[in-house]
């Protein structure tokens, strides 16, 4: 029974890790895709001698562009934090396996480790910040496109 619980605990930690990786990848893709859309819009909206209007549009969209780049940076930081969290957990799982083999009375508890707690918290915070930067960038783009008046 106890071994089944340990297997379930490892499986649940693996599935949480997989969901976190999926969320980080998704946010990275949508923030990067938004950057590509802004650049394509600016590049294709005006042709030929109307470069001044394209420059005006680019200046209006600068804030949203910056927010999407910031969202991508937040994704990289979140990915780094979750990587360090997972590598630290793997070390604890190895210690737990050893503790079970030699029957230690007080096996190591990974959830009391401050590095694991802080890296998990940082990962969650930066994923949320990345999503917030994406939504703020979307609203900034809508605002910039609705107030932009070509010369």
Helix (H, G, I), strand (E, B) or coil at 151: coil
Structure tokens at 138: 């979307």
For position 23, what pLDDT does the model report?
86
The pLDDT of residue 60: 82
pLDDT of residue 91: 79
> What are the 10-residue block averages of pLDDT along the chain, 151 residues in total?
60 75 89 89 70 76 92 93 84 74 68 83 92 94 82 60
pLDDT at 1: 52
Spatial distance between the Cα atoms of 64 and 138, rounded to a whole number of angstroms: 7
108 is in which domain, residue-wise? Answer: 2-147
User: Based on the structure, what is the number of domains in the chain?
Assistant: 1
Whether the CB-CB separation of 93 and 109 falls below 8 Å is answered with no
What is the model's pLDDT at position 75? 93
Q: Answer yes or no: are the C-beta atoms of 20 and 82 closer than 8 Å.
A: yes
């Amino acid at each position: 029974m106890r071994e089944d619980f340990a297997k379930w605990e490892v499986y649940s930690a693996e599935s949480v890790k997989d969901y976190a990786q999926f969320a980080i990848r998704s946010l990275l893709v949508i923030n990067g895709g938004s950057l590509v859309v802004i650049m394509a819009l600016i590049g294709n909206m005006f042709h030929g001698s109307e470069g001044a209007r394209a420059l005006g549009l680019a200046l209006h969209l600068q804030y949203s562009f910056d927010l999407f780049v910031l969202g991508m940076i937040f994704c990289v930081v979140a990915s780094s934090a979750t990587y360090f969290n997972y590598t630290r957990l793997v070390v604890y799982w190895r210690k737990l396996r050893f503790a079970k083999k030699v029957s230690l009375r007080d096996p190591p508890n990974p959830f009391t480790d401050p590095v694991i707690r802080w890296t998990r918290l940082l990962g969650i915070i930066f994923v949320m910040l990345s999503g917030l930067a994406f939504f703020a960038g979307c609203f900034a783009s809508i605002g910039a496109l609705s107030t932009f008046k070509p010369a």
